[in-house]
Structure 1
Amino acid sequence: MPTTKQAMDLIQDSIYGDKDHFRQVAISIANNLKKRKHSYEAKQIMDWLNDVQVNNETHEGLIKYEKPSLSFDDLILPKELKDQLREVVLERQKRDVLAKYGLTYTNTILLLGKPGTGKTLTAKVLASELSLPLKEINFARLISSQMGQTGNMITYFFEEEIPGKPGVYFFDEFDALVSRRTLASQGADREYNEIVNTILKGMDNLNTSSYIIGATNLDSIIDPAIKRRFDLVLRYPSESIDRSKFITHFMQRWQVDYEPSTVVIKATDGLSPAVIEKICKQAMRIHVLHDEPINDSLFLSLTKNRKLNFRK
């Protein structure tokens, strides 16, 4: 029989996620049971451990975990978009009130827009505001080259991972999974259609405290049935930010007071928030390493270089 210490260790490891130590303690218990002639129970424990190990190896690397520390102040978006995102958080806070009327809160969100318009940052901010971990799905690992495995992994997500482990599940480049179904003439086509059907079924049966956020810049190819499953669909305009406010706020992260001139704002015209963020970071690197002042001259130089490097 397990000792009191072994029982305490198992409970602690289960809570804090120390899988290696959990396995060691479980093996020790199995060995003790075997010595006491409880061979059936010992074998049962070892079988369970082997099943878990195989399952972990199958799904290893599927999810990138992150615990962002951000707020809506870090999100420079049009007011109407930001208000809808704030409403998502409010609905969760007032979920008991909604439940009295038979209403559920929004927990599936589709973000549409060009690269660099703030979709990934939105997922991070929502995770932080909801006090949930961000779990970004690794598509390279999810879309398996082995026939049939992708559908199995998606089933695992909707039936085990998402219901059992609360978080904000972020599917970037969502179109890679859910483009329009076609008339299946080959095995690969049939499997792809089956993937879409599996996701449709999973979203229909979704009953969880987790959130699903999909993001794409190719919304025209997404299966319309998938779009209809989302509680909220938000479109991000390519020119959606107040660039002056964005730069000023971003530099304040490092306690740097800098307000760009109209000349800098004009120079950054056409650049996405993601690119402007990179310019801000580069300016800060130069400031830290070379003690150069953060000013219009530095920003204009970095902006000019950025545009020259990406000019076709």
Structure 2
Amino acid sequence: MNSEKLIKLFEAFVKKDSDAFHKIAWEIIEDEKRKKHHLLAAQLKHILIENTSSLNMNHIQQIPPIPRDNEKGFRLLDVKKFFLDWNDVILSKETEEILKQIVQELEKENLLNTYGLKPKRKILFYGPPGTGKTLTAKVLSSVIGYPLVFVRFESVISSYLGETASNLRKIFDFIEKGKWVVLFDEFDIIGKQRDDPTEHGEIKRVVNNFMLMLENYEGDSVIIAATNHPHLLDIGVWRRFDETVYFDLPDRERRKKIFEKYLKVLKKDKNINLNKLSEKTDGFSGSDIEQACIDALKNTILNGRELLSFDEVEKAILRQRNKIKAKRTGKYE
């Protein structure tokens, strides 16, 4: 990338000069096209076009000091800003309707308050891996306009007695200081059943503390817990959430849409049939299909071919199917 243009891009951002920022951004996209970096150019163009209406360079939320654990000094969370919309995630109609109502409730909070009602702010996402739970949290963060807080469980969980509960308290104290979408991913780590015979007393205390903190939270942030293993969660945890949202494996029509989304960056051979690809990926998650598409695109680009062929995508699907089998059985063919 041209270093001079990169410097100008940063200068435009710092000076909040939106016109100059977009002008230079478009120049960079055209440069990448000339270099035949089609995938990168398409991604940059998508970010710029789809999110221009969301981009407000004059609004920067002040971020309080990031809390750290006492044991090793690791950060307990990360704060990131995303510029996505509903087109960036492919969900079932029912799931999307539930999520859009949550956003609508937040947008019309004052109206609800006049009737003594409150918007839903504590949400549990559950379902198989790779079905869009984390991506949906990013989309909600973008649509609502709040930065996304990722809780880092590898730092939160401590070997010291009482330290994990203390770390959770630090996280909730941080949340109280702003408006965020907070994601507790792989939530089953701390939401485990208290009567699990394999766990010691410390886990029970952590679960009790978390449920109490969640129940008592009345701030402006949206708290999302996501798990691939809902059967591991304590029954008491479920009752603390205002809404539970199930993310299922994509059906045939959604699989077709996922292929359309990820294969659009390259010209496709006329023999590519998205319906057939959808049929061949029954049981795949959205993440599995995405990975197969990326694999096929990379091989096409690296081999200097202009068109993406059906055979290339089919081979990528087979490789991904073997990976899925290896994860489930420990065997690879």
Normalising by the smaller structure, the TM-score range is: 0.7 to 0.9
TM-score by length of 2: 0.71
* Structure 1 residue aligned with 2:207: 196
For 2:232, which of 221, 240, 252 is the aligned residue?
221
Structure 1 contact 250–277 (Cα < 8 Å) conserved: yes
For 2:279, which of 263, 266, 270 is the aligned residue?
266
Question: Could you list the per-position Cα deviations for residues 220-272 of structure 1 after superposition, in whole angstroms to 9, with x for gaps in the alignment?
Answer: 221111101101101122344611111102334x3767874332222222211
2:123 & 2:133 partners in 1: Cα distance? 11
Matched, 1:300 2:314: yes
Deviation for aligned residue 1:120: 1.1
Give ranges in structure 1 of 5+ residues lacking alignment: 1-13, 20-51
Structure 1 contact 137–171 (Cα < 8 Å) conserved: yes
Over the residues paired in the alignment, what is the CA RMSD in angstroms?
2.7
| Equivalent position SS for 2:322 | helix
Q: Percent identity?
A: 29
1:128 & 1:256 partners in 2: Cα distance? 30
Structure 1 contact 172–214 (Cα < 8 Å) conserved: yes
Structure 1 contact 247–260 (Cα < 8 Å) conserved: no
Deviation for aligned residue 1:153: 0.9
Deviation for aligned residue 1:57: 6.4
* Structure 2 residue aligned with 1:181: 194
Deviation for aligned residue 1:15: 7.4
| Equivalent position SS for 1:110 | strand
Matched, 1:165 2:181: no
Matched, 1:99 2:113: yes
Give the AA of the match of 2:259.
I
2:195 & 2:277 partners in 1: Cα distance? 48
Matched, 1:243 2:255: yes
Deviates more, 1:295-304 or 1:90-99: 295-304
| Equivalent position SS for 1:215 | strand
Structure 2 contact 259–274 (Cα < 8 Å) conserved: no
Distance 1:255 1:125, change over 3 A: farther
For 1:121, which of 110, 120, 135 is the aligned residue?
135
* Structure 2 residue aligned with 1:77: 91
Structure 2 contact 268–309 (Cα < 8 Å) conserved: no
* Structure 2 residue aligned with 1:135: 149
Structure 1 contact 151–195 (Cα < 8 Å) conserved: yes
Alignment of 1:23-42 (within 5 A): none
Structure 2 contact 129–228 (Cα < 8 Å) conserved: yes
Structure 2 contact 92–250 (Cα < 8 Å) conserved: no
Distance 1:61 1:130, change over 3 A: same
TM-score by length of 1: 0.76
Structure 1 contact 136–169 (Cα < 8 Å) conserved: yes
Structure 2 contact 69–155 (Cα < 8 Å) conserved: no
2:163 & 2:85 partners in 1: Cα distance? 37
1:161 & 1:257 partners in 2: Cα distance? 48
Question: Could you list the per-position Cα deviations for residues 11-45 of structure 1 after superposition, in whole angstroms to 9, with x for gaps in the alignment?
Answer: xxx9766x9xxxxxxxxxxxxxxxxxxxxxxxxxx
1:109 & 1:61 partners in 2: Cα distance? 24
Structure 2 contact 141–148 (Cα < 8 Å) conserved: yes
Deviation for aligned residue 1:98: 0.9
Structure 1 contact 98–104 (Cα < 8 Å) conserved: yes
Distance 1:305 1:182, change over 3 A: closer
Give ranges in structure 2 of 5+ residues lacking alignment: 1-59, 326-330
Matched, 1:282 2:295: yes
Aligned pair count reads 261
Deviation for aligned residue 1:178: 1.2
